[in-house]
Amino acid sequence: MRIKNYLIAGVAVLLGTALNSCNSNDDQGTQDIEIPGVTFDGDTDCCSAEEALQVFRFLETVKIIPELSTVVDGKYNVFAYSRTGKFNVGYNELYFVVTKKKNGNYVKNYELTDLSPVMLMVKMNMRHSTPVSGPAESFNDSYAAVKRTWISFIMSSGESGSWTLGYNVSVLGSKGSVEEADITVDPLPAGQEWVKSFKQGDDTYYISIVNPTDLKTGANTLKAYVSKKSTPATTPYAIASESFRVDIDPRMPDMGNHTSPDNTPLTRQADGSYQGTVNLTMTGLWRIHFTVRDLQGNIVAGGDDLKDGYSSLFWDVTL
Amino acid sequence: MLGTLLISAIIFTDADSLPLRSQNLDEVDIVSGTTTGRNRSVKGQAAGIDEHISVLRNVNMVRRGSYAWEPVVNNMQTERLSTTIDGMKIFYACTDKMDPVTSYVESGNLQSISLNSGLNGNPQATGNIGGSLDLRLRKAGFDAQPFRLNVLGGHEWNGHLQVYGVDAALSGSRAYANLGAFRRDADCYNVGGGSRLQFSQFHKINLFSNLGFRLSGNDILEGTVIFDRATDVGYPALNMDVSTAQGLITSVSYRHLFSTASWETKAYYNHIIHIMDDTTRPDVAIHMDMPGDSWTTGLYSLLLTSFASHDIALNYDLYYNRLFADMTMYPGGAAPMYMVTWPDVGTLNTGLALTDDISISSRHNLHLSAKVAWQRQKLNNEEGYHAQKVFFPMMKDYYHQTTGRVAALYSFAATDNLGFSAGTGWGSRAPTVTEAYGYYLNNTYDQYDYIGNPTLKNESAIELNASADFSKGLFSVGADANIFLFSNYIIGHFEPRLSAMTVGAEGVKVYGNLKHATIANLSLTGGLEGRFVQLSGKVSYSRGRDNQGDALPLIAPITWQTDLDFAKGPWSGQIEVKGNGRQKVWGQKYGETASARWTILNLSAQYRYRYLTVRAGVENLLDKYYATYADWNDIPQKGRNIYVNLTIEI
C-alpha cells in the first residue's frame, strides 16, 4: 500500500510538473511523456499517455518472468511479472500486461484465465496442482491495464519433481496461451513457512499467508487464503467456498515461546480472503501457531498440543 | 550567607556554630586541605565518587557491583531525584540503570557534592521529589594560589584497587585553569570470608579541564570539558557486564558580576555511550547486544542577588535530551531478534525556578523555593513506537507534561543551644522515559520484564519535615523526620495477560500509578565532643507503604552508625561501627527479599606532614560476610579491605 501511495504521489508530481511546464500548449498538454518502446498513436484499445506512464512506473517495481511471455496472433505480446522475477514456495503474486506489437502500448482490455500450475513428481509419476486465484484482474484504477492473480506453491522444484505453468489469454478477440512452461519454484529460506494444509473429513485445504514479507514490529494485518484441494488433483485448487475462523497464537521459539497480546482471529472477508491482526513485539523468528475452527467454534484442525504446548499447525515468519 | 550557615551546620561540626541547621541541605567536600569539620570521606580524594556520596545524610547506595552505585535519597531512587553537574542536566544511557550519572565524573573533578533533601531542590533541579544532588566542579578561581599540584596514589588490597591521579590548578587575575587526569583499576573483590566475587572488576580513566577567563573586571567566561571512560566493568548482581561506559561533558558559561548580584548563563552538551557486554559470562542463554545513548544539550541562566534580608536565585533552564537504546539477540543459528527498548525519545524541557532565603532575624530564617517546568516528548523511532502501540493502541508519538514544586522551610533558633526547623512542600514529576516508553526492560531485582506506560499521570508528593537540635557543653542531640505523601506513585504492576520476553523472567510488569503511597524517614543523632576526641552516633528508621498498606521495595531497615574520631596535630583517626538491623518489613509484593542484620567495624587513620597526607585504614576489619538491603540481588559487600593512599599537594 505504501509503495502504491508513493507511486501515486511520484506520478502526480511528475504529471504536475509535466502539465505545468506545458501550459502554453494546452491542446497537447501531455506530449512530453515519453516511454521507451511506446508510441502514442491514438489507438483507443491502448492506454493514454498518462495511463501508460503509470503502468510503466508500476512495471519498474516488478521483474519479468521470461518463460511466461507469449505472443498472441502475431499482434500482441503478453508479459508476466512477479515481485522478484522468481517463484517461491507459498503465496506469489503474478502481474500481467499485454502490449500491441505495432506501438508497444499497453492494451486496456484482455482476459487472462485458467492459470494452471502442475507439479510432476517424477518418482511417483504423480501430478498435482496447487492453490491459485481466479482470472487475473485489475487491482489499481491508476494502472488498470496491469492485471494480477496469485499462486501459492505448496512445494519447491527439486529432485522430487518439477513445476510447469500455463494460462489462457484472450486479447481483443484473439486467443493465445502458454502451455506447460517450465518454471522453478525456490524453497523458502530457513525460518519461513507460509503455506500449511489441514483436513476436514476427506477434504484437504491449504492456507496460505499473503503478506509475510510485509510484517513488521508492531500491529499487523495478517491476510491469508484458504484453498481446497481439487479432484482430480491436477485441477488448480480454488478458494474454498466453506468459511472458517482461524485463531492465531504467535510465539517466539527462540525466546522461550514469548508471545504478544491482543491478536485477533483471521475471519473471512467479502473478497474471500481471511484477515486478522497479529502483534509482533520484535524482529526475529515468529511461529504463528493457528487453530482452524468452523463458524460454530468447533475445532477443525490444529488446536492440538504439540510437545511444546501449542497448536501443531503454524506458519513461520522471520522479520 | 544563610547558605554557608546551613552548609556548615552539619552534624557535629564545630561547636561554635549555631545549632541551627536544615535537614534539607547537606554537602560533602572532596578537595582536601580545606577547613576541617566538614563532611568528607575518610579516604580523602582517593575515595570513589560513590564513597563520597555515601557520606551524605539521608543517602544510601544501590550497588550492582563495585562501580557505578545508584544514590538513593530519602529512600527514593534515580527517578525521583535530580542529579546535575554544576547545574547541567545529564541522563544515564543504560536501560538497566547500570550507569547512574554520578559514575561519569571522578572525585578529582569535583569540589564538593551538595544534596538538597526533598522538594527543596537546587534551581536547576526538575522532578526532584526525594532530593537533588549537584556535583560541584573544581574551579581554581581567580587570584588564588598561582600554582597547585595534587598527586594522588592509592591502593586497596581487597580487589587490588589502584587509584592514580594528578591535577593541577593555575590561577591568575585574568585566567585560571584546572587540569587533571585520573585512573582507577580494580580486580574482582573478595567477600567476607574470603571468596572472590566474580565480575566485580572495573577500569576507568578520566580527564578533565576547567578554564576561566576574566574578560573584564566583571565579566567571566568559563568552560569545562570532562571525558570519562569506564571499560570492562563487571556487574555481579546482573546477567551482563559493561564493555564501555563513556561520557563527554562540556560546557561554556558566561558570568557577569553586578555590585550585588551575579548573572551566569551556561550552555552545555553531554553525550553518554553505554555498551553492555555478556560475552565474558558463561552459560549465556542468548547472546545480546544492548547499547544505549543519551545526548543532552541545554542552557540555564541563573541570577543570584541579595537585597535587604533576601538572598534570591532566579533560574531559567532549557534542555533537550535524546535517549535511544536497542537490543539485538542472537539465538544460535536463527535470525537475530531486534527491538528498540528506548524509542529515541526526545525530551524538550524548560523551567523557571525561584529561591528566596530570608533572614527574618538572627534567629528566624525562611527558605522558599518554587519551580515550574514544561516538557514535550517525542518518540522519534518509528519501529519502537509501533512496537509499544501493540500494548497501547491509542498512544501518540508525542506527549507533554507540566510539573512544578513549591517548598518552604522555616528555621528557628530558640536559644544558642536549641534549634528547630519545619518545612513543607508540594512537587510533581513526569514519568521517566523508562516508565513511559521502556520496552521489555528486564529487572533482575524482581525478575520481571517491564513495559513503559505512555498514559501515566504525573506523580506528585506532599512533603512535611521537621528537625530539632539541642546542644549543651560537650553534648548534642538531634532529630530529623520527614514524610512524603504521594499521589499517583509510579511503580510496576504485574500484567498477567502479557508474556515475558527474557528467558527465565517471571512475567511482565507495566508501570502504573498507585493512588497513594507514603515514605517516611526518621533519624536521631547524638554526640559528645572532647578536645581531641569526638563521639557521634546516628540511628535512622524508614517506612514505605503503598495504597494497600503493603511495604514498598528498597526502603532501608533500621540503620545505625557510631563514630569515634580522634584528632591531634597532624594525626587523626576514626573507629566506626555501623550496621543495619534485620529487615522486618520488606516489599514482598514487589519482589523484594528480606535482608539480614549486619554490623561491621572500620578503622582509619590519617597523618599529615607538610605537602604529604597519608591515609590508611581497614574496612570490615572482622571480615564479615554481609549484604545490605540495597545490594542488588543480595550481592555481598567487600570483605576485609586494607587501604593506603598518599596525597601530595604542592
Domain residue spans of chain A: 44-186, 195-318
Q: Which of residues 171-210 of A touch B (CB under 8 A)?
A: 190-191
Place of cell 564538593: B112
Average pLDDT over residues A29-52: 82
Check residue A11 and give its pLDDT: 55
Chain B residues closer than 8 Å to A285 by CB: 331, 334-335, 337
| Number of other CB atoms surrounding residue B569 within 10 Å | 8
Contact across the interface for B500 and A318, Cβ inside 8 Å? no
All three cell numbers of A62, joined, read 516488478
Tell whether the model's pLDDT for residue A237 goes beyond 90.
yes
Backbone angles phi, psi at A104, to 5 degrees: 75, 0
Tens digit of each residue's pLDDT (9 = 90 or more) over B535-594: 999 999 999 999 999 999 999 999 999 999 999 999 999 999 999 999 999 999 998 999
- How far apart are alpha carbons A156 and A123 in whole angstroms? 15
Contact across the interface for A218 and B389, Cβ inside 8 Å? yes
Closest C-alpha to A53, from A82, A12, A89: A12
- How far apart are alpha carbons B419 and B638 in whole angstroms? 39
Chain B residues closer than 8 Å to A213 by CB: none
Contact across the interface for B497 and A281, Cβ inside 8 Å? no
Our CA-based measurement puts residue B64 at a distance from the nearest CA of chain A, in whole angstroms, of 25
Where do the domains of chain B lie?
2-649
Beta bridge partners of B524: B479, B539
Domains A44-186 and A195-318 are alike in CATH topology: yes
Our CA-based measurement puts residue A220 at a distance from the nearest CA of chain B, in whole angstroms, of 9
- How far apart are alpha carbons B604 and B618 in whole angstroms? 6
Contact across the interface for B390 and A280, Cβ inside 8 Å? yes
Nearest to B390 among A191, A257, A262 (CB): A262
Contact across the interface for A255 and B286, Cβ inside 8 Å? yes
All three cell numbers of A173, joined, read 478477440
Cβ B31 vs Cβ B124: under 8 Å:
no
Check residue A32 and give its pLDDT: 67
- How far apart are alpha carbons B49 and B110 in whole angstroms? 9
- How far apart are alpha carbons B581 and B57 in whole angstroms? 18
Best of A281, A310, A316, A318 to disrupt the B interface (most B CBs within 10 Å) is A281
Tens digit of each residue's pLDDT (9 = 90 or more) over A78-88: 999 999 999 99
CATH class belonging to A44-186 = mainly beta
Alpha helices in chain A (DSSP H): 2-21, 49-59
Nearest to A285 among B334, B340, B389 (CB): B334
Distance of CA A52 to the CA centre of its chain: 22
The CA distances from residue A129 to A68, A176, A192, in Å, are: 17, 22, 22
Tens digit of each residue's pLDDT (9 = 90 or more) over B11-60: 223 333 333 344 467 788 776 544 444 577 888 888 999 999 998 888 99
Dihedral in degrees, nearest 10, Cα atoms B500, B506, B511, B514? 150
- How far apart are alpha carbons A60 and A56 in whole angstroms? 6
Check residue B504 and give its pLDDT: 83
All three cell numbers of B320, joined, read 533537550
Check residue B232 and give its pLDDT: 96
Contact across the interface for A217 and B339, Cβ inside 8 Å? yes
Nearest to A261 among B334, B385, B497 (CB): B497
State chain B's mean pLDDT as an integer.
91
Our CA-based measurement puts residue B238 at a distance from the nearest CA of chain A, in whole angstroms, of 19
Check residue B20 and give its pLDDT: 33
Under CATH, domain B2-649 is a member of which superfamily? TonB-dependent receptor, beta-barrel domain (2.40.170.20)
Instruction: Provide the terminal-to-terminal Cα distance of chain B, rounded to the nearest Å.
Output: 31
Chain A residues closer than 8 Å to B501 by CB: 255, 258, 281-282
Tens digit of each residue's pLDDT (9 = 90 or more) over B155-194: 999 999 999 999 999 999 999 999 999 999 999 999 999 8
- How far apart are alpha carbons B554 and B97 in whole angstroms? 15
Using omega within 30 degrees of 0 as the cis cutoff, is the peptide bond preceding A232 cis? yes
Residue in A closest to B504 by C-alpha: A256
Cβ of residue B284 closer than 8 Å to a chain A Cβ: no
Angle between helices A2-21 and A49-59 (to 10 degrees): 140
ipTM of the prediction = 0.85
Check residue B28 and give its pLDDT: 80
Check residue B32 and give its pLDDT: 52
CATH entry 3.40.50 includes domain A195-318: no
Check residue B6 and give its pLDDT: 32
Give the three-state DSSP class for B569: coil
Tell whether the model's pLDDT for residue B438 goes beyond 90.
yes
